[in-house]
Amino acid sequence: MSRRNNADNDGLTSVHAANGHDAQYMNDHASPTTARAHAWTFFRQWLKNPLKVASITPSGQQLARMMMAELPTGARRVIELGGGTGVFTSALLKHGIAADDLMVLELNDELHLHLQQRFPMAYIVNGDARELSKIAAENGYAERGPADAVVSGLGMLSMPKQLQLDIMAAAFACLQPRGRFVQFTYGPANPIAQDVLDALDLDTRRSTTAWRNLPPATVYVYMRRQSEAIPAVPMRGDHR
Ligand SMILES: C[S@@+](CC[C@H](N)C(=O)[O-])C[C@H]1O[C@@H](n2cnc3c(N)ncnc32)[C@H](O)[C@@H]1O
């Protein structure tokens, strides 16, 4: 499998445009018109498959900033699940993640094509998040080391537990030991079932809420549980 999109790099616009180094990976300009076009693309896919697309509108900039704020300090290699129209992809590139170190999975064929056209230099895969570890092994992403973070736009809340388990297991198989899984939810509580967290030995931290997002969304961060075992300190008179 090719490490790059099939999209021709001729499509690159404003290689050294005002936005800095991220601009070289993007094929559009941030404007209300392009934002509306992305929203329309997204809405059409929602009409076709509301359960999988899971939202009628792409995430807003406030939520994207809050998701980026949860990347570990110095994060270099990132995987994005459910890229949609590319709100987080764009934010990740702006955050400084190099296109070579970013892999984006999108299940929907049309949204996948949209992402390829919008980010011709990035590494966009048409695939299922359940298959993430297999995909990363087959296409060479995993060879270059584990990911520091997985950023997920998947509609976890509406997924059955088994699917949540499969996706979280595949994601943590690609993450370094202290790697983070960053997720958002529209619901009032943790979107991942406690059984799933226990089965995978994961801790959760509830982060901020993006009130300006439509609908408002809360960010959650998942990490492997660190051992809470405290080494035994010999007590006075303890001659064991
Ligand atoms: C709620 S939308 C979020 C899109 C984008 N990240 C955003 O925040 O605007 C969920 C996205 O996940 C994609 N998706 C759903 N199930 C998936 C799966 N199993 N693997 C990969 N992508 C999936 C959908 O097609 C959709 O684009």
Domain assignment present for residue 239? The answer is no
| Higher per-residue confidence, 212 vs 31 | 212
Domain assignment present for residue 169? The answer is yes
| Averaged pLDDT for residues 31-48 | 81
Predicted pLDDT of residue 45: 84
Domain assignment present for residue 211? The answer is yes
| Higher per-residue confidence, 125 vs 23 | 125
**Which of the listed residues 67, 68, 81 should we mutate to test ligand 1's pocket, taking the one with most ligand atoms within 8 A of CB?**
81
Digit-coded pLDDT (tens) for 190-217: 999 999 999 999 999 999 999 999 999 9
Atom in ligand 1 nearest the alpha carbon of residue 42: 27
pTM for this prediction: 0.85
Predicted pLDDT of residue 38: 87
Predicted pLDDT of residue 2: 38
Which residues sit with their C-beta closer than 6 Å to ligand 1? 52-55, 58-59, 81-84, 87-88, 105-108, 111, 128-130, 153-155
Atom in ligand 1 nearest the alpha carbon of residue 108: 25
Predicted pLDDT of residue 25: 61
Q: Whose alpha carbon is nearest atom 9 of ligand 1?
A: 58
Q: Residue 209's domain is classified under what CATH number?
A: 3.40.50.150
Q: Is the pLDDT of residue 29 over 50?
A: yes
Q: Whose alpha carbon is nearest atom 27 of ligand 1?
A: 84
Digit-coded pLDDT (tens) for 154-197: 999 999 999 999 999 999 999 999 999 999 999 999 999 999 99
Residue numbers of the domain that contains 135: 10-224
Domain assignment present for residue 5? The answer is no
| Averaged pLDDT for residues 50-74 | 92
Query: Ligand 1 mean position to 236 CA, how many Å?
Result: 58
| Averaged pLDDT for residues 126-145 | 96
Alpha-carbon 82 to chain mean position: 7
**Which of the listed residues 45, 63, 103, 106 should we mutate to test ligand 1's pocket, taking the one with most ligand atoms within 8 A of CB?**
106
Q: Whose alpha carbon is nearest atom 15 of ligand 1?
A: 52
Predicted pLDDT of residue 190: 98
Contact 125/56 with Cβ under 8 angstroms? no
**Token duo for residue 124:** 């966009």
**Which of the listed residues 42, 47, 52, 134 should we mutate to test ligand 1's pocket, taking the one with most ligand atoms within 8 A of CB?**
52
Q: Is the pLDDT of residue 20 over 60?
A: no
- Counting the structural domains of the chain, the total is 1
- To the nearest whole number, what is the mean pLDDT of the chain? 85
- Cβ-based neighbours of 220, under 8 Å, separated by 6 or more: 182, 183, 184, 185, 190, 191, 192, 204, 205, 206, 207
| Averaged pLDDT for residues 25-45 | 76
Domain assignment present for residue 237? The answer is no
Domain assignment present for residue 230? The answer is no
Domain assignment present for residue 4? The answer is no
Digit-coded pLDDT (tens) for 69-119: 999 999 999 999 999 999 999 999 999 999 999 999 999 999 999 999 999
Domain assignment present for residue 145? The answer is yes
Any idea which residue has 């509108």 for tokens? 57
Any idea which residue has 């993006």 for tokens? 210
Beta-carbon-side half-sphere exposure of residue 37 (alpha carbons within 13 Å): 10
Q: Is the pLDDT of residue 44 over 80?
A: yes
